[in-house]
Amino acid sequence: MTDLDHRVGVRENSLVVRNLRLTNVTEKNIAVLVEEIDQMFGLDEVSFNRNKESIHLAYDAVNLNLDGIEEVIRKHGVDIHDDWWTHTKEGYYNFCDQNTKDNFEHKPWSCHRTPPGSIKRKR
């Protein structure tokens, strides 16, 4: 796949997929919730699995993070499931999102480059 296979604002190399269980979900609030999340910049896809009561998200971790999505979730009266496994996944997802963003912003260096301002020797 290439960047052209995704929505605007989503790069292939920073695309992440997340699944979180939700609580306090009703037919009314989940439809509005999914619609609002679907409009966020950097989101590639969102869906809700009614049987597992979990939301599936695919987004660019450079342009969007899980904390921003959780704000929208809580705004509609839905909560992230309160159990050990969901909290563990949530912490891991936040760590990976931040790592992806940091790696994107990092400027690579090389020990084989001449330092700025130095004069190259002629052989």
* pLDDT of 61: 93
CATH numbers and ranges of domains, the chain = 3-105 (3.30.70.100)
> What's the maximum distance between 2 C-alpha atoms anywhere in the chain?
75
* pLDDT of 9: 76
Q: Give, for 37, the enclosing helix (H) or strand (E).
A: helix 27-38
Structure-token match 């190259």, residue found? 120
Phi-psi region of 98 (alpha: psi -120 to 50; beta: other; left: phi over 0): alpha
Q: Which of 76, 99, 96 minimizes the C-alpha distance to 88?
A: 96
Beta strands (DSSP E) in 1-123 are 15-23, 43-49, 54-60, 79-80
* pLDDT of 104: 87
Task: Please list the rounded mean pLDDT of every run of 10 residues in the chain (123 residues).
Answer: 72 92 92 93 93 94 92 93 95 94 81 67 60
pLDDT tens digits for 20-34? 999 999 989 999 999
